[in-house]
Amino acid sequence: MNEKLVAIWREAWRPPDRRPPWAWAEEHIGSIPYSPIPGRFRSDNSPQIREPLEAIVDPKVRLVFIIAAIQSSKTSVGEIGLCHIIANLPGPALWLDQTDDDAKDQAESRLHKLFEDCAPVRALFPGDRHKKRNTTIHFRNGMTLWVLGAHNKTNLQRRSIRWLIGDETWRWPLGHMAEAEARVTAFGWLGKCIFMSQGGEENDDTHRKFETTDMREWTFQCPKCGTRQPWSWEQIEWSKSARDDQGEWDYAEVRRTAAMRCASCNHYFDDSDRTRRELNANGRFIPQNPRAAKESVGFHWNSISAMSWGALAELYLRAKAIARRGDISALKQFYQKRLAFPWREYEEDYKLEITRGGYRKGELWEDEAGVNGRGQLVAAPFEPGDIAAPLRILTVDCQMDHVFAVVRSWSANGSSRLIWNERLLTFDDVEALQMRFGIHPSLVFLDAGYATYDVYRECGKRGWVALMGDRRPTFVHRTKTGKSVQRFYSPRRKVVLGHASHCYVHYWSNLNLKDTLARLRRNQDPERGATWEVPDDIDDEYLAQMESERRVKKGGKWIWERVGKRPNHYWDAECLQAVAATMLKLIGRESVSAEPVKEGAAVDAAESA
């Protein structure tokens, strides 16, 4: 036997290393190319990569999918896994980058350097240097590794592959992932796919595939209260007053005040590498999709466990500032590269910044319109005797033992100002607030979605109007001339509450009127039409609740969905403001309108539609 065959023979009979790949790598890998941490590989520095590495060698697992932030060791999982595979579980392997050029670069600048620094792999380098080209290596143990581009379809054909490792799959052309997977299927039950990516676009191949896995999320445990929770962007906070004289963000102050709040006990963690190291040390993955097939495992982590929160906050706020000028690319990149989320069309509504309006809570507004004795709209300025009531709307979100009330002033052009918001205990408190601001009872609207009968009874007793959110996009109205038109709210329905008492209820389209509110909120610039304002001294509870819902696509349809378990009461009360203003024809228009809307139909419209 020649020397080469002897080596192969010896290699074949060596017992496989049963340690987890990360423990094996700690012994054998001298350094990771381009790693910010020099010296030997230590999994303590990025403990989130241990479990994905274990999944790679788990015989029950066929797919390992990692979606993670850039510069957070996600490619290292593929690279370290590959070293371990070459030394311990050899079989035909294909590493796919985006293009052939990217693949060549990955092979030269990273893989070859890594192999050189990993003794068990280096020992398997072929003696014949022609067998070790940059993008194809025939190792002495019989294993072949190809490093190729996923764009080139011919790279995805013919070969039968045991190990497929795909990097940055979000950049691959549609359908190429499935094409590559077919090579592994051809190899049989030993074949395995390992994919790595940052966030891409909603519904692309990367995210659709990831959603077939158990979607494990990297979490930490709060040392104060013991609550385990994901590293979540919603928990990163900075001083709301970190602004300069012009009202622009003072980034030094943002960085200085950035902190992470425990979602459960509100403990603030200071922004330091030490904090992150301590929280990562007891990190664990929690499956978000536990019903997935056992052979498909997914891992997700973002930059929050890996980099300065102040630096992230600055990136985010700068991206928001650019987005306000109409260019969303930086904001999109923040979501994809830092949070490792798919970009969604409506993502920018999700954490919309509210600019304060330069006035204080309770202050009245000179642009506020009025309603005259015939129920017609009167634009400011006017004499006090010209109007019967100010155009002030009170909306109320009702819960079991308390309610959330919002008072908004409206101008004749559809601009509005929040002038009061408060959590109240009883319906008498609501009426006291109504009296205090001189609001007409037919401009008081209550959400009847919860405690429906109580709300109906109070509306009947006090002349208020009940509103009920609904899945339908539009509702048919008959006009006085007999035409039918579609509107975002229903004609009023009379609800009889026993003898001599009744109230009126309107249904409204959740999707269309929440969209209306989202559009209204975006504008604080009078040059661009109606503005929507909140006072300088608005409270944090209100601001937090206004970020409680987001627009998502479910089963092919857009819906507004609550984010986690965030309280959304002020958001609901503001939705009712949008409903009422639409009913009063102050804003928006019907989805399908057969006739132009008459001006000055104010209070009548709400009453009789």
DSSP 587: S
Cα 262 from chain centre: 18
Q: Least distance (Å) from Zn ion to the CB of residue 265?
A: 3
Q: Name the residue nearer to Zn ion (CB basis): 175 or 223.
A: 223
Backbone angles phi, psi at 239, to 5 degrees: -60, 130
- Distance (Å, rounded) from C-alpha 139 to C-alpha 125? 5
Please, are residues 579 and 393 in contact by the beta-carbon 8 Å criterion? Answer: no
Q: Least distance (Å) from Zn ion to the CB of residue 223?
A: 8
- Distance (Å, rounded) from C-alpha 574 to C-alpha 583? 14
Q: Name the residue nearer to Zn ion (CB basis): 266 or 272.
A: 266
Per-residue binder mask for Zn ion (CB under 5 A), 358-397, x = binder: ----------------------------------------
Q: Least distance (Å) from Zn ion to the CB of residue 83?
A: 39
Site for Zn ion in 333-352 (CB under 5 A): none
Q: Is 329 in the site for Zn ion (CB under 5 A)?
A: no
Q: Least distance (Å) from Zn ion to the CB of residue 225?
A: 3
- Distance (Å, rounded) from C-alpha 245 to C-alpha 205? 47
- Distance (Å, rounded) from C-alpha 349 to C-alpha 266? 25
Please, are residues 233 and 307 in contact by the beta-carbon 8 Å criterion? Answer: no
Q: Angle between the 452-462 and 427-436 helix axes, to the nearest 10 degrees?
A: 40
What type of residue sits at position 290?
Answer: P
What type of residue sits at position 67?
Answer: I
Q: Name the residue nearer to Zn ion (CB basis): 67 or 222.
A: 222
Secondary structure of 523-572 in HEC code, one letter for each residue: CCCHHHCCCEEECCCCCHHHHHHCCCEEEEEECCEEEEEECCCCCCHHHH
- Distance (Å, rounded) from C-alpha 608 to C-alpha 45? 67
Q: Name the residue nearer to Zn ion (CB basis): 86 or 279.
A: 279
Listed in sequence order, the residues at least 6 apart from 391 whose beta carbon sits closer than 8 Å to its beta carbon are: 368, 369, 370, 371, 377, 409, 410, 411, 412, 443, 586, 602
Alpha helices in 211-308 (DSSP H): 251-257, 273-281
Q: Least distance (Å) from Zn ion to the CB of residue 227?
A: 5
Largest CA distance in the chain: 112
Q: Is 224 in the site for Zn ion (CB under 5 A)?
A: yes
Preceding amide of 381 cis, omega within 30 = yes
- Distance (Å, rounded) from C-alpha 4 to C-alpha 495? 91
Per-residue binder mask for Zn ion (CB under 5 A), 243-282, x = binder: -------------------x-xx-x---------------
Q: Is 292 in the site for Zn ion (CB under 5 A)?
A: no
Structure tokens belonging to residue 125:
């380098």
Listed in sequence order, the residues at least 6 apart from 489 whose beta carbon sits closer than 8 Å to its beta carbon are: 475, 506, 507, 508, 509, 513, 579, 582, 583, 609
Q: Least distance (Å) from Zn ion to the CB of residue 279?
A: 11
Q: Least distance (Å) from Zn ion to the CB of residue 266?
A: 7
User: Is 312 strand, coil or helix?
Assistant: helix
Q: Least distance (Å) from Zn ion to the CB of residue 274?
A: 18
Q: Name the residue nearer to Zn ion (CB basis): 202 or 234.
A: 234
Site for Zn ion in 139-168 (CB under 5 A): none
- Distance (Å, rounded) from C-alpha 215 to C-alpha 560? 23
Q: Which stretch binds Zn ion (CB under 5 A): 215-223, 379-387, 544-552, 569-577?
A: 215-223
Q: Is 225 in the site for Zn ion (CB under 5 A)?
A: yes
Q: Least distance (Å) from Zn ion to the CB of residue 217?
A: 17
* Total residues at interface with Zn ion (CB under 5 A): 7
Q: Name the residue nearer to Zn ion (CB basis): 264 or 479.
A: 264
What type of residue sits at position 582?
Answer: T
Q: Least distance (Å) from Zn ion to the CB of residue 254?
A: 24
Q: Name the residue nearer to Zn ion (CB basis): 39 or 223.
A: 223
Figure out which of the listed residues 49, 69, 184, 222 binds Zn ion, where binding follows CB under 5 A.
Answer: 222
Q: Name the residue nearer to Zn ion (CB basis): 190 or 225.
A: 225
Q: Name the residue nearer to Zn ion (CB basis): 222 or 394.
A: 222
Q: Is 6 in the site for Zn ion (CB under 5 A)?
A: no
Q: Name the residue nearer to Zn ion (CB basis): 221 or 593.
A: 221
Q: Name the residue nearer to Zn ion (CB basis): 234 or 253.
A: 234
Q: Name the residue nearer to Zn ion (CB basis): 40 or 267.
A: 267
Q: Least distance (Å) from Zn ion to the CB of residue 263?
A: 8
Q: Least distance (Å) from Zn ion to the CB of residue 221?
A: 9
324-331, Cβ contacts within 8 angstroms, sequence gap of 24 or more: none
Q: Name the residue nearer to Zn ion (CB basis): 123 or 265.
A: 265
Site for Zn ion in 557-576 (CB under 5 A): none
Q: Least distance (Å) from Zn ion to the CB of residue 229?
A: 8
Secondary structure of 318-386 in HEC code, one letter for each residue: HHHHHHHCCCCHHHHHHHHHHCCCCECCCHHHCCCCCCECCCCCCCCCCCECEECCCCCEECCCCCHHH
Q: Which stretch binds Zn ion (CB under 5 A): 99-107, 199-207, 220-228, 336-344?
A: 220-228
Q: Which stretch binds Zn ion (CB under 5 A): 69-77, 216-224, 244-252, 396-404?
A: 216-224
226: left (phi over 0), alpha (psi -120 to 50) or beta: left
Q: Which stretch binds Zn ion (CB under 5 A): 79-87, 214-222, 394-402, 423-431?
A: 214-222
User: Is 100 strand, coil or helix?
Assistant: helix
Q: Name the residue nearer to Zn ion (CB basis): 109 or 264.
A: 264
**Which residues would be at the binding site for Zn ion (CB under 5 A)?**
222, 224-225, 262, 264-265, 267
